[in-house]
Amino acid sequence: MRDGDAYRLAVPDDARIDLADFERTIIEARTVRARGATTIAVEALRAAFAAYGGDLLPEDGPAEWAAGRRERARSEAVETARTLAELLLDGDPTGAAQACAAGLALDSHHDPLWRILVEARERSGDQAAATSARSGYARMLAELGVTAGDVA
């Protein structure tokens, strides 16, 4: 719809917008977690991550109006994966590792996800997967010009 010299998107009331669903589920997950309901928070975080539909308007490339919102949504998805992994680490290290892998698919340089992934693989007793995770972490650090000894 035209609004003066600009255009305005007129969305029907019954339309489903994946970004709005994603943002709403993140808020719900944080609220539940703040209340200390860990089991419900895990499910809410899973729903939030599942609601992330991928990069926002990737066809618009680096357009300023989309790039900032796209990056914020991706960052929120990565942080959702990290929080989920942290909550799962003690009781479900395999689930924690899966959450890390999903987050790392969005941001392969996210240090906390790599650290949790290594720990999750170790806790699950899969030494081959733990070694592979440590190697992946070391490769990522090398890409950034950081040695493992530089990371505390």
Query: Using CA atoms, how far apart are residues 121 and 98, in angstroms rounded to an integer?
Result: 10
35-57 per-position pLDDT tens digit: 999 999 999 999 998 988 776 66
pTM to 2 decimals?
0.82
The structural domains of the chain, ordered by start, are 13-150 (1.25.40.10)
For residues 17 and 22, the model is more confident at 22
Q: Select the highest-mean-pLDDT range: 15-24, 37-46, 59-68.
A: 37-46
